[in-house]
Amino acid sequence: MLRRLFERDAGSEVEIPTGAPLTDADLKVGLLREIDLFTGLSLDELREISRTLPMTTCQIGGLITSPDEEDERLYIVKRGRVRLYRLTPDGKQLTLDILDKGRIVGRMSWLGQELNEVYAEAIEDAVVCSFTPSELRRLIDRFPGIGLNIIRYLSDRLAASEREREVMAFRSVEQRLAARLMELAERFGQPSGDGVAIDARLTQQELADMIGTSRETLAMTISSLRERGVLEMQNQRVVIHDVEGLRGLSGA
Amino acid sequence: MLRRLFERDAGSEVEIPTGAPLTDADLKVGLLREIDLFTGLSLDELREISRTLPMTTCQIGGLITSPDEEDERLYIVKRGRVRLYRLTPDGKQLTLDILDKGRIVGRMSWLGQELNEVYAEAIEDAVVCSFTPSELRRLIDRFPGIGLNIIRYLSDRLAASEREREVMAFRSVEQRLAARLMELAERFGQPSGDGVAIDARLTQQELADMIGTSRETLAMTISSLRERGVLEMQNQRVVIHDVEGLRGLSGA
DNA sequence: GGGAGTCTGTGAGCCCGCTGACGGAGTCAG
DNA sequence: CTGACTCCGTCAGCGGGCTCACAGACTCCC
């Protein structure tokens, strides 16, 4: 079961070029501006920050960070999507979150033990930039606004995580699936011919990992929803036909 | 089922005396010093902060905050213990955490939506002090160290919450119970005649709410563990006889 | 086009844990 | 002492979801 970790193309580990920047400095500033973490900072400040931040790319399937990693480092996603997941001792996965632009992942002991024990895998080609703990600390001392933004970010993640705990504790697979698809539709939904399409390739195994069930049970649940005309899933794309119906099934 | 919310003595809602302080100013400074959130601040700074912080008391069973609350306010526990829980639409509870000295609860929209939808109930007589969002913001601007401490605190909570999600997703009631008791023992354990006693009164219903199961199933599980000599539970006190055995059962 | 690898659909069987029910034990007020 | 209330122990019954097993469909690469 452990091999699933490596099932996608390997050899795409992140290299971290601490020296020369990969890209034009102004492009970097541009990317920084789009990130919520840095709202409220002036252009000059952004420029100053961008000088110290190495940017790295990571191909689809590559691991950005894992519990084996020794370096304490914090990554900010600039492009692409990153899947955060935990691995149980017996090899099952639980996907915690899908991160896109502006969201944070990493482990830093001084920053609590956040995201220890957590893997981060690029599910699209991704660009991330990274800090060391001391860099971040210096940044926050100079620009307290960044501290506030991180607090807001962590609070959001915490609220979502605790909502998830309640869902996992008391709700059936169908309800959990409905709730998760609603969330994905809100974040990645595209209006399509007949309803809302979720703009992400998701195998049934991946969906199952998100709601903590088995692939087989998930397939049965999808079938049932398809028969009732609520949604369709083909070619690893989910299309929701009856959004309101799905919301009702989610039990919220 | 909803009445369980009120089963303990009512009439003990928090009143917030925004004006005159309840206690001697120096006592307040003393309490602030013990709180992790304020480590790294000088005595003068603590004194300055203490002037603006109202302290309130809350009797056992009282609600410190709930989703119905309109005020956005952040509370810091100074004495006593506070149980954080969510309520499902059909009236079941899931206890998220037990907070003691120095830990934070509250809802603030600018601080993400943390702890929206969350109830906080005093399970011992408690003393809390509270901020408004603007007060906290001012504090962080003046003392960035507080921002760092909050970040660390939130990171810890998030890591614990995500670990919990994995546990809820894949582990049996017995494993969940074992893991939870280990955690409680670490936080509230007292060496006792025959093993480790958990220093907190806990009904079986309350334990069941912590691990997301029913009271009946919990009772069966406790019985089974008792027969195997792992632990004992009487008078709402848990005594763990075989700590290593319990750790093994937790599957970690 | 053909074969390897992956993904999807479905079924049989089994067991954990939920529901519902009820009696006993402890505790507190009168 | 006695009733009222809460908490605890246990059981029968059932069903959701897991495991195991396999066949069909799709994709990608030679």
Q: Which residue of B has its CA nearest to A116?
A: B159
* Strand, helix or coil for residue A223: helix
Chain B contact probe: residue of A95, A115, A161, A213 with most B CBs at under 10 A: A161
Question: Can you spell out the DSSP letters for B75-142?
Answer: EEEEES-EEEEEE-TTS-EEEEEEE-TT-EEEE-STTTTTTTT-EEEESS-EEEEEE-HHHHHHHHHH
User: How high is the pLDDT of residue A197?
Assistant: 93
**Contact assessment for residue A162 and residue B112, using Cβ atoms and an 8 Å cutoff:** no
Q: Is the CB of B209 under 7 A from strand C?
A: no
User: How high is the pLDDT of residue B20?
Assistant: 41
User: How high is the pLDDT of residue B27?
Assistant: 59
Banded pLDDT at A113 (limits 50, 70, 90): very low
- The whole-angstrom separation of Cα A23 and Cα A55 is 8
Interatomic CA–C1' length for residue B105 and nucleotide C1, angstroms: 65
Banded pLDDT at A39 (limits 50, 70, 90): confident
Q: Is the CB of B9 under 7 A from strand C?
A: no
Question: Can you spell out the DSSP letters for B220-245?
Answer: HHHHHHHHTTSEEEETTEEEES-HHH
B55 vs B243, higher pLDDT? B243
- Sign of the alpha-carbon dihedral angle for B133, B135, B138, B142: negative
**Contact assessment for residue A94 and residue A212, using Cβ atoms and an 8 Å cutoff:** yes
Give long-range contacts, CB 8 A cutoff, 24+ apart: A135-138: A135/A52, A135/A53, A136/A74, A136/A108, A136/A111, A137/A110, A137/B148
What percent of chain A has pLDDT above 70?
Answer: 81
**Contact assessment for residue B101 and residue B78, using Cβ atoms and an 8 Å cutoff:** yes
Average pLDDT of chain B, as a whole number: 80
Q: Which of A137-141, A160-164, A242-246 has the highest mean pLDDT?
A: A242-246
Lowest-confidence region among A204-213, B30-39, B196-205: B30-39
The string of pLDDT tens digits covering residues A7-38 is 333 333 333 333 444 445 555 666 666 666 77
* Residue B194 distance to chain A (closest CA, Å): 31
A237 vs A25, higher pLDDT? A237
User: How high is the pLDDT of residue B142?
Assistant: 82
User: How high is the pLDDT of residue B29?
Assistant: 64
Banded pLDDT at A91 (limits 50, 70, 90): confident
Interchain contact, A158 vs B156, CB within 8 Å: no
User: How high is the pLDDT of residue B6?
Assistant: 31
CA neighbor of A100 nearest in space, from A86, A84, A88? A84
Banded pLDDT at B4 (limits 50, 70, 90): very low
> What is this structure's pTM?
0.83
Strand pairing partners for A238? A233
What percent of chain B has pLDDT above 70?
Answer: 81
User: How high is the pLDDT of residue B26?
Assistant: 57
The string of pLDDT tens digits covering residues B180-190 is 999 999 988 98
Interatomic CA–C1' length for residue B88 and nucleotide C20, angstroms: 21
Instruction: Look at residue B24 and tell me whether its pLDDT is greater than 70.
Output: no
Strand D-proximal protein residues, Cβ less than 7 Å: A 172-174, 212-214, 216-217, 235; B 7, 203-205, 216, 219-220, 222-223, 233-234, 236
Mean pLDDT of B87-112: 79
Banded pLDDT at B208 (limits 50, 70, 90): very high
What percent of chain B has pLDDT above 90?
Answer: 32
Chain A contact probe: residue of B154, B172, B249 with most A CBs at under 10 A: B154
* Strand, helix or coil for residue B67: coil
CA neighbor of B180 nearest in space, from B129, A12, B172, B12? B172
Banded pLDDT at B5 (limits 50, 70, 90): very low
Instruction: Look at residue B17 and tell me whether its pLDDT is greater than 70.
Output: no
User: In sequence order, which residues have a C-beta less than 8 Å from that of residue B152 and are 6 or more positions away?
Assistant: A110, A111, A112
Q: Which residue is nearest to nucleotide C5 (CA to C1')?
A: A7
- Interface residues of B toward A, Cβ cutoff 8 Å, are 86, 88-89, 92, 94, 96, 108, 110-118, 137, 140-141, 144, 147-148, 150-159, 161-166, 168-170, 212, 251-252
